[in-house]
Amino acid sequence: MRLTNYSNIKIIPAIYYFSVVIFFLIIFLNFQLDGTLFPSLKYYYLVLIGIFVSLVYVYFGWKYFEYDSEGEVVVFLNRGVILSNFFNYRGNAIEIRRSRIVGYKIYNFLIYKRLVIEIKSKSKTYTRHSNITFVSPNKINYLRQSLDKLIAKNKS
């Protein structure tokens, strides 16, 4: 089975670049209007901090996810959305043989979702993680079904 979150992610670069423009536009307008854009300096800094935190969250949290369980190897792929065509320094590809997957857990934090895969080695069990924040709930259910089926097959 193959699934991706491309349909949810394709608009993210436009949102990110628009937010960067708004960030600098607020700074420029406040400077040109001699600080009268906001009633208080506290509101100005609060808006800038809010936009900056959202930019950091979008940059680090929103990733492209792809799952492919066709064949002998199961592939979990994470890539950054912004600047990933030029610099793929945030790419994370996990390729695991089907027989080595022991278990998985999906952690659902308030603004972040993580898939943790437990992999059996010759001497120990180790984990790998993947960001699934913007995978739709239906696709997460399909992912769960596929991994449950794979783990049940490995146990028998």
What is the DSSP secondary-structure string of 19-32?
A: HHHHHHHHHHHHHH
Q: Which has more confidence, 31 or 86?
A: 31
Residue 27 to residues 21, 47, 109, Cα–Cα distance (Å): 10, 10, 33
What domains does the chain contain, in order, with CATH numbers? 1-156 (2.30.29)
Residue 85 has pLDDT above 80, yes or no: no
- The distance in angstroms from the start CA to the end CA of the chain is 21
Task: Output the pLDDT for position 146.
Answer: 93
Tens of pLDDT along 49-65? 999 999 888 887 788 89
Are residues 91 and 79 in contact, defined by beta-carbon separation less than 8 angstroms?
yes
Q: What is the rounded average pLDDT of the residues 63-88?
A: 82
Task: Output the pLDDT for position 143.
Answer: 94
Residue 82 has pLDDT above 80, yes or no: no
Residue 113 has pLDDT above 80, yes or no: yes
- In terms of Cβ atoms closer than 10 Å to its own Cβ (0-12, 13-18, 19+), residue 121 is exposed
Instruction: Share the mean pLDDT of the chain.
Output: 88
Q: Which has more confidence, 80 or 87?
A: 80
If pLDDT is split at 50, 70 and 90, which confidence band does 24 have? Answer: very high
At residue 134, the 3 state secondary structure works out as coil
H/E run at residue 80? strand 73-80
Task: Output the pLDDT for position 110.
Answer: 85
Kindly report which listed range (12-16, 40-44, 102-106) carries the lowest average pLDDT score. Answer: 12-16
Number of Cβ within 10 Å of residue 98's Cβ equals 14
What share of the chain has pLDDT > 90, as a percent? 51
CA 65 to chain centre: 7
